[in-house]
Amino acid sequence: MSHFVSSPRSIPSDAANLLNSSHISSSLGRSAMSPLSGQPNVSFSDVLQGQSARERDLKMPASLRKLVDVPKVVDVTGEKVRESFEQFIEEFVDEESANDEWLGRIYLAQIESMRVFEYSTLYVDYQHLVGRENGVLATAILEQYYRFNPFLLKGLRRLLKRYAPSLLFMNLLGTNESDLKNASADDSTSSSGSTSNERVFQISFFNLPVTHRIRDIRTDKIGSLMAISGTVTRTSEVRPELYRGSFTCDMCSAVVDGIEQVFKFTEPTACPSCPNQSYWTLNVAKSQFIDWQKVRIQENSNEIPTGSMPRGGKGQAGDKCKFTGTEIVIPDISQLGLPGIKAQSMKESAATASDLNSGVTGLKPLV
């Protein structure tokens, strides 16, 4: 049964667009021509295809619809920090080195050294940042380093793309130089390709204004950039750590690249091609690994208060070192996601006479 309307232009729907078209196919095979309309012909199949697409969206699992509908939030402050950091690296001039071939631009010269020797760390003197923009950039990095560190690394990659594009990718076995040039040219436009040969870069700040003791580490310094000093008591061997993983869906064989590891072995939350959320296989050849080492330190002997034991932290044994980084809180991941375990408040029970006389019969009740 057909429904006719007097003013199709006032209806913002597919039916109104269909009535406004120049050629409308009816169920009896007759056509209605509109001499005033210059729009292309629209068939019922196009409308049905649009409806089927919407129906497919409705049939999509709720978890996938949530991922599609989540808007991308842009950290405006982080982008400003990135831009300011890029300008600092390009424009900073050291007066003591103003007569060299780089005219005092020591950080651009350092990028060139990174390209020649294939280094992956840029060393930045914090005192040079203090004189930039009245110390605004230095204060932002010092107080919210954990927040702005991804933007600083992004700015470093943008600088390397301009001044040392060959350093962005590692020349793996069987990879041609032309492929590396094409990959570096498409680095900003392609986000779905393999990231196995991308080089991981770090920014190391030194010469901070204050060096803290291990005893000074408190919760108010979480996420901030700080330097601590201590004596190394134990070190572990250098081991590989998964940095970004590439996974293959076990149900549809779809490949998901660039999964950042967050405190533990992290898999994709959902497959973009099927409802799979749990069955994945790690592609070791396409994943990124970095070097990891655990260093345990304790307070220096001259910093221990009288009558106190040396505080420990996490070189070589016996060395006095200064470490620059950020303090973070690692969650107890062993208790996260366990079925049947939920946080709940417990009412404290009053002690009875029998409990007062029972005492402690072993170490197990104390655990």
Per-residue model confidence as pLDDT tens digits over 227-246 = 988 888 888 888 888 888 99
CATH number of 76-185+195-209: 3.30.1640.10
Mean pLDDT of the chain: 73
CA distances from 315 to 89, 106, 234, 239, 323 (A): 30, 28, 8, 15, 11
Select the more confidently predicted residue: 47 or 131: 131
Query: What is residue 237's predicted lDDT score, i.e. its pLDDT?
Result: 86
* Four-CA torsion 215, 221, 223, 224, nearest 10 degrees: -100
Separation CA 15–CA 47 (nearest Å): 9
Separation CA 160–CA 180 (nearest Å): 14
Separation CA 225–CA 141 (nearest Å): 7
Are the C-beta atoms of 315 and 321 separated by less than 8 Å? yes
Query: What is residue 39's predicted lDDT score, i.e. its pLDDT?
Result: 45
pLDDT (tens digit per residue) in 134-185: 889 999 999 999 999 999 999 999 999 999 999 888 765 444 454 445 544 5
Q: Which residues of 187-210 are buried (b: 16+ CB within 10 A; e: fewer)?
A: beeeeeebbbbbeebebebeebee
Q: Which residues pair with 282 in a beta bridge?
A: 247
DSSP E strands: which ranges in the chain? 23-25, 31-33, 121-125, 202-206, 211-212, 225-235, 239-249, 255-260, 280-282, 288-292, 295-298, 320-326
Query: Band of the pLDDT at 278, cuts 50, 70, 90?
Result: confident
CA distances from 80 to 36, 64, 76, 151 (A): 52, 32, 6, 9
Separation CA 154–CA 212 (nearest Å): 29
Side-chain half-sphere exposure of 84, counting CA atoms within 13 A: 20
Q: Which residues of 96-126 are buried (b: 16+ CB within 10 A; e: fewer)?
A: eeeeeeeeebbbbbbbbebeeeeeeebebeb
The single-letter DSSP state of residue 115 is: H
Q: Which residues pair with 288 in a beta bridge?
A: 244
- Give the tokens for residue 16: 């109104």
Measured on CA atoms in the order 174, 180, 183, 188, is the torsion positive or negative?
positive
Rounded average pLDDT over 205-220: 88
pLDDT (tens digit per residue) in 60-99: 555 555 555 667 788 899 999 999 999 999 999 888 877 7
Select the more confidently predicted residue: 176 or 255: 255
Query: Band of the pLDDT at 351, cuts 50, 70, 90?
Result: low
Query: Band of the pLDDT at 224, cuts 50, 70, 90?
Result: very high
CATH 3.30.1640.10-classified regions of the chain = 76-185+195-209
Q: Of the ranges 30-34, 143-147, 295-299, which one carries the lowest mean pLDDT score?
A: 30-34
Strands 211-212 and 225-235: parallel
Query: What is residue 10's predicted lDDT score, i.e. its pLDDT?
Result: 42
What percentage of the chain carries pLDDT values higher than 70?
A: 60
Rounded average pLDDT over 248-259: 90
Query: What is residue 88's predicted lDDT score, i.e. its pLDDT?
Result: 94
pTM: 0.63
Query: What is residue 344's predicted lDDT score, i.e. its pLDDT?
Result: 56
What phi and psi, each to the nearest 5 degrees, are found at residue 319? -80, 145
Query: What is residue 345's predicted lDDT score, i.e. its pLDDT?
Result: 55
Query: What is residue 307's predicted lDDT score, i.e. its pLDDT?
Result: 57
C-alpha closest to that of 88 among 146, 121, 133 = 133
C-alpha closest to that of 197 among 167, 153, 240 = 167
Query: What is residue 312's predicted lDDT score, i.e. its pLDDT?
Result: 53
